[in-house]
Amino acid sequence: EIGTIIRSLGCCPSEGELHDLLAEVEEEEPTGYIRYEKFLPVMTKVLLERRYRPIPEDVLLRAFEVLDSAKRGFLTKEELIKYMTEEGEPFSQEEMEEMLSAAIDPDSNSINYKEYIAMMVIDEN
């Protein structure tokens, strides 16, 4: 649940960064719980340092455009699954299902990535 809490505060850590943060706030003998007294100062520092900021909209768009070599303006569900699970830091099954539920248009079975990016972007103002 810590990842959900951190993301609800406008932070977007990678899974690796999230694991590092968890290691910092966990007890020496992990219990499955995080003590608020230990979490608060670490999270306050993260927020003050503006760590884990979201990727800007133009960078996300360029990334999707690289994947869309045919310049169609969309990726099929199969293409999206392939890129997200086989390249870079692969998505877990849960992350993939969550993304698909939000990103894929059920009528076309594809992702119009410009619409998806507009939905994902956090307004910093």
79: CATH: 1.10.238.10
Asked whether residue 29 falls in the same domain as residue 78, the answer is no
Q: pTM of the entire structure?
A: 0.65
Q: Are 78 and 32 part of one and the same domain?
A: no
Q: Domain ends where: 29, 49, 69?
A: 49
Query: Do residues 74 and 115 both lie within one domain?
Result: yes
Q: Return the number of other C-beta atoms located less than 10 Å from residue 59's C-beta.
A: 10
pLDDT tens per residue across span 88-117: 888 888 889 989 999 999 999 999 999 999
Residue 1's nearest CA partner among 28, 36, 27, 47 is: 36
Same domain, 20 and 67: no
Domain assignment of residue 125, yes or no: no
Whole-angstrom Cα distance, residue 62 to residue 36?
Answer: 39
Range of the domain at 17: 1-49
Q: What is the pLDDT of residues 13-37, one digit of tens each?
A: 988 899 999 989 988 887 888 999 9
Mean pLDDT to the nearest integer, 61-70: 94
Cα 53–chain centre separation: 11
**Any residues with CB less than 8 A from the CB of 117 and at least 6 apart, and which?**
57, 60, 61, 64
Q: What was the pLDDT predicted at 122? A: 61
- What is the domain count for the chain? 2
